[in-house]
Structure 1
Amino acid sequence: MFRSDTFSQTIVELYGERGRLWLSELPILLDALAASWELVVLPPFPSLTYHYVAPALQTNGESVVLKVGVPNPELLTEIAALRFFDGRGAAHLIAADERRGALLIERLTPGTALHTLEPDDQTILAAALVMQQIWRPAPEQHPFPTIADWGKGLTHLRRTFDGGSGPFPAALVDAVEWLYAKLERSSAPPAVLHGDLHQGNMLAARRMPWLAIDPKGVVGEPACETGALLRNPPPWRTLCELACIMERRVYLLAEALGFERERIAGWGLAQAVLSAWWSYEDHGHGWEEALACAEALYRVVLR
């Protein structure tokens, strides 16, 4: 069926024995989903990470995408987010099976990722348009975590290191704790956000120039959405160069979206530190790039 040692390792890192069992039963699950949804499931896309994702054909010949993961709260909020967006700025959800952790999604063609667009200014402006298509006011009752819930990661970080900051610079963690509280207190009315709208999660499509995939689904002020975009920079060589990239991106996003530059840079810094912590918490490694982005954004915030 497939072989991906990296994919299997990631699943086991995240879910332990439950992940091993899920991997062993995945071929049976795929056959069952193919029968339920009347699909011909094709070989998976390359570079599987947290989910098994493969193109598939419906009986009418329509090309779709089958996405399957270990059932967990984040997968459930992805399904809820796609339903809420209903194709506005994002791929359509065709069907879902929450119990089995499966989604059937509109296949976006040509499907080129936004990070292939050049120059970087065009990438940021295209992403801003996708954001504006997606955002809708958050309903009073919803299934999504909030930005305040995400901020509890900082408490977990402190608890893990007995009040310290472990491998993360103390000045950054101190600044983000203060900044997070300040931004929350002064937040604009909340919207349902994508939550992970980086350049790899926006694809070229026929019905719109770019559409989003893989939402996490989170409720917060719209300015929060820019964080994932900021912490996925083009190639850079020095921290000074990275800070210049961040400053330019903050400026462009502020102009395109009408937010204060300070809020964009602040949320970017806060989410970069959280992203580094989540990498540590989930895998025990791989936080260095997010931390470098946080350090670069710290320079922007201080200016």
Structure 2
Amino acid sequence: MLTPQIPTHFVAFIEHMHAEAGRAWLMRLPQILTHCAARWNLTLGQPFPNLTYHFVLSATRPDGQPVVLKICAPTKEYAEEAAAIGHFGGHGMAQLLDTDADEEALLLERLMPGTTLRPLADIADDAATRIAAGVMRQLWRPVISDFPFPTIQQWREGLTHLRDYYGGGTGPFSPTLVDAAESIYADFTASLAPLVLLHGDLHHDNILAAERAPWLAIDPKGLVGEPAYEVGAFLYNPQDIRQRAELPRILARRLDILAEELAIDRARLHGWGLYTALLSAWWDVEDLGHIGEDSLRCAEVLASLPGLP
């Protein structure tokens, strides 16, 4: 069996993110791939070109069925992602075919042709936004009381670290923007809609063209919250959105369409959009050592638009 090549940029990213644990995992990765190929009788292909947090590659079953093999890096996200994909049960989501908990590996339905939503957004953002809303509607399912997923309240802990990190201040982040995000969070969590399982990271690169349905999602985080929270990641994506002309018009139009398609109060989508964009910008400081410029710019634009609660 030919072992797939591990790209140098992926090695550098994993070492940066996980230090010694990442280097140990990278050393074991060829062994994990060999194990998974034998367990599931797979012919392994090459990794997908946009690798970041996990090692994901194409593979083929003996009957010719194309599948995806995802080997989770030491992020502690494996169990939640496996549970989330299983919970969605193929509704709006690629199906989970099998798991290997010891190696933290997922065997997944491969979506064909697998084109992401990003190219359509470049030429027809309204159409891409309506497609994303349709996927959201398919995904949302009630959660049972003893769910294994984090909540939006737990994710908020990330933002509480911001002021600690900057000695009680907000560093390069606008104090007005941070105050606004904190106020929105307090107001909204006091009046949450019925909770559902959210994708948690539903953006243009995580929505793919498929055959079983026109568009399906991949790579869920698995997050419990109200439906309005889901739109945040979509608003501040795709990457380099800050460079788009007429960004205020684009974001305002997305809010209009999402409010219409999802039947959710526009002001609530607007507020969660600002909050999650700022949270994302801060997470990049925690994870990568620099501010997420795309999400910060979107937070600033959303704060400037009329209609915030």
TM-score higher than 0.5 here?
yes
User: Percent of counterpart pairs with the same letter?
Assistant: 50
> SS at the partner of 1:103?
strand
Tell me what 2:264 maps to. Answer: 259
Q: Deviations over 1:53-103 (max 9, x none)?
A: 111011221110000122433222111100000100000000112231210
Asked if 1:21 is matched to 2:24, the reply is yes
Give the deviation of 1:239 after TM superposition.
8.7
Match among 250, 255, 262 for residue 245 of structure 1: 250
Amino acid at match of 1:192: L
Amino acid at match of 1:283: L
Give the deviation of 1:153 after TM superposition.
1.2
> SS at the partner of 2:47?
coil
Tell me what 1:77 maps to. Answer: 80
TM-score (norm. length: structure 2): 0.94
Cα pair distance change 1:267/1:154, threshold 3 Å: same
Alignment check: 8 A CA contact 2:94 2:110 kept: yes
Cα pair distance change 1:6/1:36, threshold 3 Å: same
Asked if 1:8 is matched to 2:14, the reply is no
Amino acid at match of 2:97: I
Tell me what 2:216 maps to. Answer: 211
For 1:47 and 1:236, locate their aligned partners in 2 and report how far apart those are by CA, in whole Å: 18
Match among 54, 60, 65 for residue 62 of structure 1: 65
Alignment check: 8 A CA contact 2:85 2:96 kept: yes
68-77 or 220-229, which deviates more: 68-77
Tell me what 1:284 maps to. Answer: 289
Asked if 1:178 is matched to 2:189, the reply is no
Amino acid at match of 2:156: G
Match among 140, 147, 156 for residue 145 of structure 2: 140
Asked if 1:229 is matched to 2:227, the reply is no
Match among 36, 45, 55 for residue 42 of structure 1: 45
Q: Deviations over 1:236-281 (max 9, x none)?
A: 6779821111111001100111111110010010000110111110
Tell me what 2:93 maps to. Answer: 90
> SS at the partner of 1:29?
helix
Cα pair distance change 1:175/1:75, threshold 3 Å: same
Give the deviation of 1:138 after TM superposition.
1.6
Give the deviation of 1:165 after TM superposition.
1.0
Give the deviation of 1:301 after TM superposition.
5.1
Cα pair distance change 1:236/1:289, threshold 3 Å: closer
- Counting matched residue pairs gives 303
Alignment check: 8 A CA contact 1:110 1:206 kept: yes
Amino acid at match of 1:196: D
For 1:206 and 1:54, locate their aligned partners in 2 and report how far apart those are by CA, in whole Å: 20
150-159 or 124-133, which deviates more: 150-159
For 2:246 and 2:97, locate their aligned partners in 1 and report how far apart those are by CA, in whole Å: 43
Amino acid at match of 1:46: P
Asked if 1:268 is matched to 2:280, the reply is no
Give the deviation of 1:139 after TM superposition.
1.1
For 1:138 and 1:236, locate their aligned partners in 2 and report how far apart those are by CA, in whole Å: 33
For 2:77 and 2:282, locate their aligned partners in 1 and report how far apart those are by CA, in whole Å: 17
Match among 137, 155, 158 for residue 160 of structure 2: 155
Cα pair distance change 1:95/1:123, threshold 3 Å: same
Alignment check: 8 A CA contact 2:115 2:209 kept: yes
Gaps of 5+ in 1: none
Gaps of 5+ in 2: none
Cα pair distance change 1:74/1:235, threshold 3 Å: closer
For 2:238 and 2:26, locate their aligned partners in 1 and report how far apart those are by CA, in whole Å: 33
For 2:78 and 2:184, locate their aligned partners in 1 and report how far apart those are by CA, in whole Å: 29
Match among 51, 54, 57 for residue 51 of structure 1: 54
Amino acid at match of 1:147: I
For 1:185 and 1:200, locate their aligned partners in 2 and report how far apart those are by CA, in whole Å: 32
Task: Name segments (4+ residues, structure 1) moved above 3 Å.
Answer: 233-240
Alignment check: 8 A CA contact 1:265 1:301 kept: no
